[in-house]
Amino acid sequence: MKRRKQAITNRCLLAVFWAILVVGIAFASAPTLKQAFVHDFYIGAALNQRQIFGADSSSTALLREHFSSITPENTLKWQAVHPKPDEYDFAAADSFVVLGERLKMFIVGHTLLWHHQTPGWVFKDASGNPANREILLQRLQQHILTVVGRYKGRIHGWDVVNEAIEDDGEMRKTKWLEIIGDDFIQKAFEYARQADPDAQLYYNDFNMWKPGKRQGVVRMIRELQSKGIRVDGIGLQGHWGFDYPLLEEAEASILAFAELGVPVMITEMDVNVLPNPGSYRGADISQNFELQKKLNPYPDMLPDSVQDKLARRYADFFALFHKHRDKISRVTLWGVYDGQSWLNNWPVRGRANYPLLFDRHYQPKPAFHAVINVVRDKEM
């Protein structure tokens, strides 16, 4: 009897030993993100100022280990880098490029022409009246030559134009369109090419999975190409959620853009796990308890069930990217870890969101392992 008990105990111990060994080996040999996709596409992250200035060493460690490309979240936007007509501020941008070079990253500049985060003076003449086409074109050219020129040969790719097309495929009604006319996209690409002939030049937009936008962007890129303008990449900002886009819709856009002969990039990926606030847009929920519970359901931690759902969603997206790895050149996450995500403060301030692959303690989440497993499963 005693012997039998001993044998069972031994067997249990052996099983536990094997389990630990197998899990240990699995984790020890787990590839990093960039290693997992090294033959497929760059894995990028967007960086905030603290990360750019090296004040967040945990992020730097993750960057070094897992990522092969960086994009600045805000640093190269017009209002940050060129706040006044005769004033440029390159402190953060310089630091960003030096960091990228030190870590041997594919360095992306974001963004040269956009309707947000662009100071009001850009669209006014010296007397404060609306600028005319000549003034605005000259300003755009000077801005692009100065910013792109400064990092010539060092920033490898630029989001030249951001968000110029509406969801229905029409041109977005912005000051750029109103003042310059619809060749403003062409002009921006020409100036950028002039500033750095070897840099890759991209068009970048959100909701690219919507059929209207897909068709509008295809039309716009075809038109540029017919005028001899080379577009080196089309960026699908991956600001996605649990129920949008359908994988088929994202796939249809990847295929449609690739048909233009242009590499596709997923440029700003995050998966929003929080409820859509609908009419509470921009609300400050800190004062209202009931609203808080509804809109900020996971203030302390993400429940396992949602964590698993997020992991599955990420796995599905990365399986799609991997399937189309011959068309996709880069997948950039919009942040290194959950704590820095813009989705903690938009469209509602002060929520705890969990949209990325590393958690608030810089630890890999189940979604991270799910993404790695996409490639591992294929290799087995």
Look at strands 328-333 and 264-272 and give their pairing: parallel
Q: Which of 132, 146, 127 is nearest to 82 (CA)?
A: 146
DSSP code at position 181: -
Nearer to ligand GLA, 213 or 322 (CB): 213
Q: Cβ of residue 272: shortest distance to ligand GLA, in angstroms?
A: 12
Residue type, 289: F
Q: At its nearest, how many Å lie between ligand GLA and the CB of residue 235?
A: 9
Window 98-117: residues binding ligand GLA (CB under 6 A): 110
Burial letters for 204-223: b for 16+ Cβ neighbours within 10 Å, e otherwise?
A: bbbbbbbeebbebbbebbee
Rounded distance, CA 112 to CA 159, Å? 7
Q: Which of 87, 166, 223, 268 is catalytic?
A: 268
Q: How many residues bind ligand GLA (CB under 6 A)?
A: 6
Which CB sits closer to ligand GLA, 42 or 240?
A: 240
ω into residue 111 within 30 of 0, thus cis?
A: yes
Window 149-168: residues binding ligand GLA (CB under 6 A): 162
Binder of ligand GLA out of 37, 123, 151, 206 (CB under 6 A)? 206
* Alpha carbon 204 to its chain's center: 10
Can 248 be counted among the known catalytic residues? no
User: CB-hemisphere CA count at 13 Å for 175?
Assistant: 19
Assess 49 for contact with ligand GLA (CB under 6 A).
no
Report the Cα–Cα distance between both ends of the chain, in Å, rounded: 44
Residue 148 burial class via C-beta count within 10 angstroms: exposed 0-12, middle 13-18, buried 19 and up: buried
Site string for ligand GLA, 341-360 (x = CB under 6 A): -x------------------
Among the listed residues 73, 101, 134, 163, the single catalytic one is: 163
Give the separation between CA 129 and CA 178, rounded to whole angstroms: 14
Candidate list 190, 196, 268, 338; residue touching ligand GLA; CB under 6 A? 268
Q: x/- contact string, 228-257, with ligand GLA (CB under 6 A)?
A: ---------x--------------------
Instruction: Give 200 or 207: the residue with its C-beta nearer to ligand GLA.
Output: 207
The catalytic site residues sit at 163, 268
State the residues that interact with ligand GLA by CB under 6 A. 110, 162, 206, 237, 268, 342
